[in-house]
Amino acid sequence: MQIYSHLMMMNKNLEYVPTNIAEKPQKEEDNIDDAVSVTISKEMRKHIQGFDDSSRDGQRAITLTQAVDDGLDKTQHILRNLRSISVQALNEKCDTQDRQAMQTEVEQLLSKIDEYALSTEFDGYKPLAGGKDGIFILDIAIGDDTILSIESTTTEKLGIADISVRSVPEARVAIKSLDNALEKVKNYRLHVADIQNKLQHNIKTETNSTLDDSEAASKAMDTTLAKILNLHNTKAHSGIMPQRVLQLIS
């Protein structure tokens, strides 16, 4: 409400303008009008710029979380495929050749997970690759502090780098490891969704606040301009020096 407060102070100051100053030429009055307009315009632009910067940061943060969720979605899909292969490997009728074929597919899919972890990127960040101690942390200060924290989703960090389906016992171990990895990724996605909701809420709240501020400022501006116009049109006040008016609006 900075613009509104500023304009209300201007209105209050205008009530104490001296009434016994000689009349000044129209050109000087026009200069006063221009100075008032420029000051109000600067205040409006300053406030709008601040809102634009905040909104832009919020939108960038949302785009980052969308990129993270896209990478997690792909990882989750691969993990489900890996689990499906591991379940098939529980069949004791699978021969060595079948198991080797399944193991080859498992290793290819594991490579894909590492690829997604290292290639998911936005604005220089690689959130799924991990940061210090293998955890990516980003403090997004939009309204309330919002912290995005995700552990690396490489196969090593997910605990599935060495899974094997070459035998039934190994397939059982693989299923257990994959279930743990799926639970981790599911929780990461829930965390990202929560961050997105907070960001969207904060942007919406700030947008509504700015609209309310603009409406109040517009009304205050109308009052201010009306008072200034009255000062110009009233003979008793028509001689206000430009320096005096500039003091009132500064």
Sequence ranges of the chain with CATH classification 1.20.1330.10: 67-186
Helices marked H in the chain — which ranges?
A: 2-14, 26-88, 96-119, 155-158, 168-233, 242-249
pLDDT digits (tens, 9 = 90+) for 82-118: 999 999 999 989 999 999 999 999 999 999 999 999 9
Report CA 141 to chain centroid distance, whole Å. Answer: 8
pLDDT digits (tens, 9 = 90+) for 222-240: 666 666 656 555 544 444 4
CATH architecture of 67-186: Up-down Bundle (1.20)
pLDDT digits (tens, 9 = 90+) for 98-108: 999 999 999 99
pLDDT surpasses 50 at 178: yes
pTM of the predicted structure, to 2 decimals:
0.64
pLDDT surpasses 80 at 36: no
140-146: which pairs have CB atoms within 8 A and are 24 or more residues apart? 140/57, 140/61, 140/195, 140/199, 142/54, 142/57, 142/58, 142/61, 142/199, 142/202, 142/203, 143/201, 143/202, 143/203, 143/205, 143/206, 144/198, 144/202, 146/61, 146/195, 146/198, 146/199, 146/202
Tokens of 214: 């603009």
Banded pLDDT at 60 (limits 50, 70, 90): confident
Task: Please give the pLDDT value at position 245.
Answer: 47
Task: Please give the pLDDT value at position 62.
Answer: 84
Tokens of 75: 């990882």
150 strand-pairing partners:
136
Task: Please give the pLDDT value at position 118.
Answer: 93
